[in-house]
Amino acid sequence: MQIERKARIFNIQKYSIYDGPGIRTLFFFKGCPLRCKWCSNPESLERKYQVMYQCKMCIDCGECVKVCPLMIHKMDEQEGVHYVDRSINCSGCRLCEEVCPKKALSIAGEDRLISDLLAIAKEDLPFYQTSGGGVTLGGGEVATQPDFAANLLMECQTVGIHTAIETCGHAPLKSLLKIAEFCDLFLYDMKHIDPDKHLEYTGVRNERILENLMELIERRYQVKVRMPLMKGLNSDSETIRRTINFLMPFKDRSNFQGIDLLPYHKLGVNKYDQLDKIYTVKEDLSLSEEDLDVIEEQIATYDFPVKVIRH
């Protein structure tokens, strides 16, 4: 008998080739304990429903104002223009989304059943089978909704689908272990090896993250480390050296699958405007191909499997 639960999801992406082996379907969970300055999914950070508003597409017709039961949508009486009152929490009714003639409005967040997501995952079984792919749960942070994640992965494995999760690792160990029982691969972020820098850039220290990583590897779960790279923040040779030294004891473990390097990109920056948020990164954190080659070569000298993931 299939277990049925609900989780709050904010996106579903098919035919991904960047988040685990083969062709994959990604389910993005809403809610995250980190506040990374460079986050490309700002709509993932809070568990609540959020109105995303593309003001350049709006024609100020006021249709959303008429249907919103909470009066989140308002018209400026002097200017005659529409705006979103961010002091009111959205209920997720989606009436504004439905009536907007220019599709300037969308609601981030939707409660989905395990059976719904499993049905979507099963649509692409032939692609998984031919490519060695499967389902990856991302976010946000999957471990903020561990019961749903574990049950969904269990159902995927039951029908022969390879399972993976992306995690920042900042979660109770018991939540990660609950998920681990049905997870074929952890894609585990290491954003900065220095706890003070980690706090500065993400809002939390990294001691729990590193402890959980060691626990998963020691317990023989399959783990691949993913290092988001931002020029000037964590790309210098000393930070790379310290990261590799931390991972060195696990180098020859059969369940440690090496390192993926994830270069900084600006995908998703426009979503901050849609949420009336400020993207605080002012400098260009992009790395050149030469920069990436140097880092890749530095890691390779330690005889670590390493790969640059280029979107």
Tell me the backbone φ, ψ of residue 122, rounded to 5 degrees: -70, -20
Is 197 labelled a binding residue? no
How many CA atoms are closer than 13 Å to the CA of 6, on its beta-carbon side? 5
Positive or negative, the CA dihedral 274, 278, 283, 285 is negative
Q: Is 68 annotated as a binding residue?
A: no
Of residues 210, 216, 292, the one with CA closest to residue 243: 210
Q: Is 192 annotated as a binding residue?
A: no
Q: Which of 193, 195, 199 is nearest to 243 (CA)?
A: 193
To the question of whether residue 61 is assigned a binding role by annotation, the answer is yes
To the question of whether residue 106 is assigned a binding role by annotation, the answer is no
Q: What phi and psi, each to the nearest 5 degrees, are found at residue 291?
A: -60, -45
Rg from Cα positions in the chain: 21
Find out whether 265 is annotated in a ligand binding site.
Answer: yes
Using omega within 30 degrees of 0 as the cis cutoff, is the peptide bond preceding 140 cis? yes
64 in a known ligand binding site:
yes
Consecutive H or E run containing 96: helix 95-99
Helix, strand, coil percentages in the chain from 3-state DSSP, rounded to 5: 35, 25, 45
- Assign 308 to helix, strand or coil: strand
The answer to the question of whether 168 is labelled as a binding residue is no
Pull the structure tokens for residue 287. Answer: 């790395």
Question: Is 38 annotated to bind ligand?
Answer: yes
Instruction: Name the binding residues for [4Fe-4S] cluster.
Output: 32, 36, 39, 58, 61, 64, 100
Instruction: Name the binding residues for S-adenosyl-L-methionine.
Output: 38-40, 140, 189-191, 265
Instruction: Name the binding residues.
Output: 32, 36, 38-40, 58, 61, 64, 100, 140, 189-191, 265
